[in-house]
Structure 1
Amino acid sequence: MAQTDTPGEHASVLRLPGIVLGVGLGGFADGILLHQLLQWHHMLTSTDQDRIGVKYYDPDTVPGLRMNTVWDGIFHTVCWLAVLTGLAILYARVTQDRRRVWTSRVLWGWMLVGWGLFNLVEGVLDHHVLGIHHVYAGDGQLWWDLAFLLMGALLVGGALLLQRGGRPLALPAGAPGPDAR
């Protein structure tokens, strides 16, 4: 790429790895904060009210918590694989100025898009369609679930604005690379 390349061309290099990284990191944020630290839910905490007939594992019992912890582990494994995949794609696509990539508004914007997409897809599927868990079960759970979706939409919208402000790197002719800021 010559120095005259457009920011959109550089952004496309970072789009897929950024989104995949964002999905994995957003999943980790959800799992660590909501599943582990706040203990508001685990993967199967609402299966007594789900829409697909999954066996209920009461998280207030040792066997139930054990099974929920296994499914939380499976969820975290998928998040971990998404992060590794995103890093592998990024490493393969960016061959120069890798250090500057991590300060790129474009990369961080696409990562936040990925986090927002994680919230939107996970929120619609797990909370509303399947009903296997809710952000915070009980009175007002619909509002918590809707707030989770709103946060996802805000992340996507804000992230798209952030990545638009990215500037391309000044690259030598023929050198592939992403945006700088």
Structure 2
Amino acid sequence: MIRLTKEDKNLYIAGFILGLGILGAIDGIVFHQLLQWHHMILSPDIKLEIFTDGLFTAAFSALMVWGALKIFRDARNHELGYSWKVFVSGTLIGGGVFNLVEGIIDHHILQVHRVRPMADNPLLYDLAFLASGIVLILIGLWIKKLDKKAA
């Protein structure tokens, strides 16, 4: 088991929170706005779709602000690590967790939307979204492990 110092743990947690927000932003910007593949809730009522997208934007924006404030507070208290590997691993793992949790809950359990509902095989896009989460987590874990080998 990899043990982090208190300072590195704070940095990792901040990265994790930022990763959740950043992947939410990528999802919202790319899939909701640029590609217009889906909204948070698929509905014939466009106002409802836009409103739920706004709530989603508020949520991932709040996560990014929270992560930034955590970094500021921990740095101010001299309780923030400085390893870029710890930070990047936390960010990637947080982003991967976002994809897995959002994908499992919204695409499969609640079925409020699919990644690309009008595709010939929407399940393929949903599974690719989940796979991207797993890949991000694995890369994050690998980077975190590299940091401890160098120490």
Is the pair's TM-score, using the shorter chain for normalization, greater than 0.5?
yes
Alignment of 1:97-136 (within 5 A): 101=82, 104-136=84-116
Equivalent of 2:39 in 38, 42, 48: 42
The Cα RMSD (Å) is: 2.3
1:160 deviates by 1.2
Which residue is equivalent to 2:14?
17
What is the distance in 2 between the residues matched to 1:120 and 1:85?
21
Name structure 1 gaps, 5 residues minimum: 1-5, 46-56, 59-63, 168-181
What is the distance in 1 between the residues matched to 2:3 and 2:146?
9
In structure 1, what residue type is equivalent to 2:56? F
1:7 deviates by 7.0
- TM-score with structure 2 setting the length: 0.86
Which residue is equivalent to 2:63?
82
Q: Percent identity?
A: 34
Structure with greater Cα Rg: 1
What is the distance in 2 between the residues matched to 1:147 and 1:94?
37
1:24-72 CA distance string (max 9 Å, x none): 1110000000000000000111xxxxxxxxxxx22xxxxx222211110
Name structure 2 gaps, 5 residues minimum: none
What is the distance in 2 between the residues matched to 1:108 and 1:158?
10
In structure 1, what residue type is equivalent to 2:8? A
What is the distance in 2 between the residues matched to 1:129 and 1:32?
23
What is the distance in 2 between the residues matched to 1:131 and 1:7?
38
Which structure dedicates a bigger proportion of its chain to helix? 2
In structure 2, what residue type is equivalent to 1:125? I
The number of residues matched between the two structures is 145
Which residue is equivalent to 2:4?
8
Does the 8 Å CA contact 1:106/1:165 hold for their aligned counterparts? no
